Structure 1
Amino acid sequence: MVLADSNPPDTATLLRVRGPLEFRCKLDSTDVSLMHRVISRTFENLHSNVKSESLVFTVRESPVIIWPNKGFNVTPEEITPNTLCEDIFQWVKTDELEIASRKSTKKKGKKMSTASIINLCLMMEVTKPGPLPAPTFSKTVEKHHLLCITLPMDCVVRMTCNETMSNACERLLEELEGQLYEMERVTLQYMTGAAVPVPQPLHFLLPEPKGLKTVVFPAEVPDSQLETHRRELHHRFELPEDRPYFRRTNAYHFPDEVYKDGYLRNPHLILTHPTLEDGKLYLVQGIYSYHHYMQDRMEDNGWGCAYRSLQTICSWFRQQGYIERTIPTHKEIQQALVDIGDKQATFVGSRQWIGSIEVQAVLDHLLGVTSKIMFVSQGSEIASKGRELATHFLTEGTPVMIGGGVLAHTILGVAWSETTGQIRYLILDPHYTGAEDLQVIIDKGWCGWKGPDFWDQTAYYNLCLPQRPKTI
């Protein structure tokens, strides 16, 4: 069985601590080795701060405050070192809309495969107990190069349901220490003269059993200049070098974070899969966004379904880190077809349909992605293509665009039985014209499983099967 993606399982609790650490040092020399020593000493001071009793974790949207280096001193007092991680949720203020959404989902028997998140803030106490001495002032005039960087610490640990908060804090402290070491390494590696890059931690969900891993990149350096760095990471985690696991666009999106672009991601995840005799599931691998009629203030109802299917495919390649460009608009798609000589200049700005062949051409021209075309002379033959589609989702895992007559759809997977030949298709329908309401989309079948009778049995169809580029 091939699953759509490998998010941390439901039984896991992710503890994520974020917060700034101020990095300050004087670089009064142009000698590289001396500057490296000064930077390293400053990182040593930050390690001491992380180990000090002044370090504080606060659980966001809650009254919970933890001093992990003070023998696990916690407020409220009801929380002890043996309190289970999942029990912290009772202290967290939950949005009423979120509660209502959970209840609605539970009633319908549908569940999104995501882990629970406990968000913590990293803070440092700046005052000490007892009376404070009177302030004194002194003035010194000197010239020096003061380096000030705010380090954006961001650490995550995955805890099972029976692990305690004491264990979680121990692991978070270890992660903070390790992240500081990695930030120091990246800072020294990528600094040029007195210009020091800001180290940027990112999280990536790797194939099981590796799970969620944190990587530090220099923020100002683009992905195009980090191939050697990524190749080292592939070797470190024993990953094949034919997929871009560590590009920034492929960074893990936490379940409690909202996508700023407003598009729904992977609506099929809450569907109940069909059960076929000796059947298996072969599904899209990774993340895509749902593109459909009337989005982006574009009135394409009645003619833009293939454009929307193409946008969904492009979103998949962006989300998996294969491309950095934005999702092409209708006009950009049309201009690409003009540029390659497939259409006349009057095609740009028109409401003319496109099909699978045009989708293949645009993917190649704009994304550098090749595609295979599967020709089906009539819809009744699509039921016999189970093996080809299963192989595609097993090996490539990309969304498939299918066009026939005046309609286009996106195939996200198949449930197929090799012994009986039974087949069901997971369809993402671009003809939807409503709001980004996941429940409506699922309930009305705009994303759902369809049988062989879904296709016009006498119409011809072309299927565009995009292929993964071999790259890191």
Structure 2
Amino acid sequence: MDILFRIRGGLDLAFQLATTDEASTKKTLGYVFSDLANKLSSDVLILRICHSSVYVWPNNGMNTVPELTDDSACKEIRRFIQFDQDDETKRKLGKKKDKKLQDTIVNIDLMLEMTSSLAALAPVIERESKEHHYINMTLPVDVVVSVSPEETWGNITGYIKPDLFLAFAEASGIGGTLNLSCFCLLFTLTHWLLSVTVAKVVGFSELHGLFSLPCDRPYFKRANAYHFPDEPYKDGYLRNPHLHLNSPGMESGMVYLVHGVYSYHHYMQDRMDDSGWGCAYRSLQTICSWFKHQGYIDAPIPTHKEIQQALVDAGDKPATFVGSRQWIGSIEVQFVLNQLFGITSKILFVSQGSELALQGRELANHFKTEGTPVMIGKCSSIKECQWPPYAEFHFKFIIDLNAILLFPGQGWCGWKGSEFWNKDAYYNLCLPQRPKTI
């Protein structure tokens, strides 16, 4: 597995403008950018390996670790990285897969040396009694270099410098004007990681055309940005717990999974006691999170009250339904998705639980073409599945991933075979459809 060297930092710009006309502004910016470009190609450029004492001067080949030479394999850099005790504890508690992914990422801080080896000059202060426009901003830099673990360290620094200059050129608008709203995002396109610096407002159609991508789903929304496995999610919700399950242990057959990312919503979350409401509210929130994380919707995940109000607005429930603890099912989930977000769904009716196993082909096709989570509703209880053989999401008082996967005797999140379903009950399956949009 390749190692990702991620270089992040900000290039500070601070300068004065005597006038704001376009010609003077461009001239001043030219001087500022030229000075900054010279710094990036000089000995003041420093790369600091995070969680280590390693500092690298890429423009003169120096570093603070004599054992790290230009001929060293780049994987050797991991020997010098030491995490804080709290971070190391979290890594040990994580799955082997997570630790393996984290070990493939080397975070690097972009820095500029402020001191100089030259003799200090006496400061000269000049005061002008006239108005100036003082500009102070930071150009963001987020560059990723993917290399083989056996690649030499000398080559790594050679790869990093051109990418830094490219990111600087895009962010600074060299050849044009300063981009005040510039930001850097990283995206995964099929199996490879793409670094995109958004330096000007462009249409999504233009980006899709540039990379020959289909125009039936988002690829370049902020929600589509790549999430590095060594970074926690800021909202506190778990993501894709099904990926941490062991194999279902089938000797033959195919496993079909939901595409993309969803957040895990469950009872007693968000400081709300919804025990006894039925878990379809939380299942619906999980489905909504999938559409949000894939870039189809920008709205927040609906609350219980907003879900109930949507059903009233859709004409499915009376006004007294808002604030009640009445359960909802697959049909109501379909109504809410359409009412709030314009998302359509297919409803698959199964007359008895023993026939659910016969729907494998239909579900497999759904996950191959749509990839959205599927909710299965019974007349008196709700279960949510995302693949055959089925995985149950029915839970309360969940604290962390280990509790969800390993809770004794309960199996809050686990594989469920066809015998799990009540053979005498009927079920409605809600299969949300992807909007054809970018």
TM-score of the pair, normalised by structure 1: 0.86
> Residues of 2 paired with 1:381 and 1:274: CA distance?
20
- Please tell me whether residue 63 in structure 1 is matched to residue 53 in structure 2: yes
> Residues of 2 paired with 1:320 and 1:186: CA distance?
33
Aligned to 2:142: 154
Provide the alpha-carbon RMSD of the alignment: 2.3
SS of the equivalent of 2:386 reads strand
- Please tell me whether residue 304 in structure 1 is matched to residue 274 in structure 2: no
Aligned to 2:306: 332
Deviation at 1:176, TM superposition (A): 1.2
Deviation at 1:159, TM superposition (A): 2.1
Aligned to 1:213: 194
Q: 1 or 2 for the larger relative contact order (CA 8 Å, sep ≥6)?
A: 1
Which of 425, 428, 432 is the equivalent residue of 1:462?
428
Q: Which amino acid aligns with 2:79?
A: Q
SS of the equivalent of 2:203 reads helix
Aligned to 2:44: 54
Deviations 1:375-434 (A, max 9, x none): 1111111100011100011011111111113222222223xxxxxxxxx12x25132322
- Please tell me whether residue 438 in structure 1 is matched to residue 392 in structure 2: no
> Residues of 2 paired with 1:110 and 1:234: CA distance?
32
Deviation at 1:270, TM superposition (A): 2.0
Which of 9, 32, 36 is the equivalent residue of 1:19?
9
> Residues of 2 paired with 1:110 and 1:169: CA distance?
28
Structure 2 vs 1, CA of residues 47 and 130 (structure 1 numbering), >3 Å: closer, same or farther? Answer: closer
Aligned to 2:220: 246
User: Retained in 1: the 8 A contact 2:187–2:194?
Assistant: yes
Deviation at 1:187, TM superposition (A): 10
Deviation at 1:98, TM superposition (A): 4.6
Structure 2 vs 1, CA of residues 441 and 260 (structure 1 numbering), >3 Å: closer, same or farther? Answer: same
Q: Which amino acid aligns with 1:16?
A: R
Aligned to 2:379: 405
- Greater displacement, 161-170 / 243-252: 161-170
Deviation at 1:334, TM superposition (A): 0.6
Unaligned runs of 5+ in 2: none
- Please tell me whether residue 114 in structure 1 is matched to residue 101 in structure 2: yes
Which of 120, 134, 156 is the equivalent residue of 1:132?
120
> Residues of 1 paired with 2:392 and 2:36: CA distance?
50
Q: Which amino acid aligns with 2:401?
A: L
User: Retained in 1: the 8 A contact 2:334–2:430?
Assistant: yes
Aligned to 1:419: none
Q: Which runs of 4+ in 1 moved over 6 A?
A: none
Deviation at 1:186, TM superposition (A): 9.5
TM-score of the pair, normalised by structure 2: 0.92
- Greater displacement, 437-446 / 387-396: 437-446
SS of the equivalent of 2:301 reads coil
> Residues of 1 paired with 2:63 and 2:99: CA distance?
33
Counterparts of residues 8-407 of structure 1 (less than 5 Å): 11-28=1-18, 31-32=21-22, 35-36=25-26, 38-70=28-60, 72-103=61-92, 114-115=101-102, 116-185=104-173, 188=176, 197-208=180-191, 211-217=192-198, 228-407=202-381
SS of the equivalent of 1:456 reads coil
> Residues of 1 paired with 2:289 and 2:111: CA distance?
37
User: Retained in 2: the 8 A contact 1:187–1:197?
Assistant: no
User: Retained in 2: the 8 A contact 1:13–1:161?
Assistant: yes
Deviations 1:250-275 (A, max 9, x none): 21111111112111001111222234
User: Retained in 1: the 8 A contact 2:278–2:381?
Assistant: no
Deviation at 1:92, TM superposition (A): 1.7
Q: How many residues were matched structurally?
A: 434
> Residues of 1 paired with 2:367 and 2:34: CA distance?
49
Deviations 1:140-188 (A, max 9, x none): 2333333322112111112222123322222221221111222234995
SS of the equivalent of 1:282 reads coil
Q: Give aligned-pair identity as a percent.
A: 50
Structure 2 vs 1, CA of residues 314 and 130 (structure 1 numbering), >3 Å: closer, same or farther? Answer: same
Deviation at 1:130, TM superposition (A): 4.0
Deviation at 1:449, TM superposition (A): 1.2
